[in-house]
Amino acid sequence: MLPVYLIQGKTPRLSISNNNQRRLSIVSKHFDNEYQNQQQVQIIGSELSQPLSNADGSTNRRRLTQIISLVDDNNNKENVVKLKGRYLLLFIVEPILIGCLLFPLLVLFWDCGWNLTVTMLNSLNGFPLTYNLDGQNYTDDVYGNYSPQSLIVPYVIVEILLLIFYLGQDLFYDFFKRQHTLIEMILLKIHMLILSFMYIVQWEMIWTILDQYTPQEWTFTMILSLASLFVLIIITGTLSDLVCSPFVVSYDSIEYCVRFECPLVTEHVSGLQHERIMTKNSLESYCYNMKSDANNDQISLKISMEDKTTINEIF
């Protein structure tokens, strides 16, 4: 079985080293008629996998991908690997779980946090605690708008706390990792709760300032929105992930599991750990790119669970 080489600056593809003979495969028949058709590519077990050769002649511990035959030359049909058992059940239940349970809980949390922030503003301005919450139409201007001080001061405090949280997240993470598993989980949930409430206060302050102290004409709103997008493009270089959220809900299609975590765990990557995670993700993405490219030549590549385990063991 031939090694796979990643050519810099080009699309990942199968390459053949100079010190190896050309392999007879289905792909070769498209380029040279002297090669006979190969009905099936023999399945190569992990124990027979050849090591990946480097340019200097050294080899790594093992290959990370395996080529299996999913092609029948008679009918050109590919064997589709179907999910079975609990994987199929999780595949069906996952969107239902997200849409019917996690998302309503998330909306409920944000609504409660928003109302709590409005109650805090009412208390700071001497208004009734149910002002802007009881659904009544206050048109007699008895209370008026919230004072600028009550909006700016909490916003500045929250921004300072967020800065402290982000600058000290490495220290927090290292401290949590030294604790018992149960204590670590509790501390992470507390961290998530505090961080999420600060996000809500931040949003409420900005929203109220724009609502009460800026013109309501649609032209101004349109210009402000476009200007904000332009500033975001300049600062971040992308428009992705515009809404900051203290919750990270994701579905891992490789390990078939739903992840519901906080940014402290998912975004804590620095130094050597960052390099390991990036290398691991690059290897997995490269394997999937190989699968997409090989489908054009009627060969399907598959990342087995053994390959996934090997990547985790290496990194």
Q: What is the pLDDT of residues 147-183, one digit of tens each?
A: 999 999 999 999 999 899 888 888 888 888 888 888 8
Q: What is the mean pLDDT of residues 269-275?
A: 46
273 and 246 in a common domain: no
In a domain, 46, yes or no: yes
| CA 225-230-234 angle, 5° bins | 145
Q: Is there a domain that residue 22 lies in? A: no
Same domain for 77 and 120, yes or no, is no
**Pair (146, 275) in one structural domain:** no
Residue 45 has pLDDT above 80, yes or no: no
**Considering the domain boundaries, does residue 17 fall inside one?**
no
114 alpha-carbon distance from chain centroid: 26
pLDDT digits 0-9 by tens, 56-70: 555 544 443 433 444
Q: 73 and 190: one domain?
A: no
Q: Kindly state whether residues 222 and 282 are assigned to the same domain.
A: no
> Which residue's entry shows tokens 């080293």?
17
Confidence of residue 231 (pLDDT cuts 50, 70, 90): confident
The token pair at 171 is: 């220290």
Give the pLDDT band (50/70/90) at residue 123: very high
Query: Both 297 and 238 in a single domain?
Result: no
Q: Is 126 found in the same domain as 35? A: no
* Residue 279 sits in the same domain as residue 209: no
The verdict on 123 and 227 lying in the same domain is yes
pLDDT of res. 121: 92
> Is the pTM value of this prediction over 0.75?
no
Residue 168 sits in the same domain as residue 193: yes
Which residues constitute the domain of residue 279? 27-83+264-314
Give a yes or no: residue 19 inside a domain: no
What mean pLDDT, rounded, does the chain reach?
A: 66
Residue 18 lies in a domain: no
Q: Examine residue 6 and state whether it is found in any structural domain, yes or no.
A: no
Number of domains in the chain: 2
Q: Which amino acid is at 112?
A: C
**Tens digits of per-residue pLDDT, 278-309?**
555 555 555 555 555 554 444 444 444 445 55
Is 105 part of any domain?
no
Q: Is residue 157 part of a domain?
A: yes
* In a shared domain, residues 127 and 232: yes
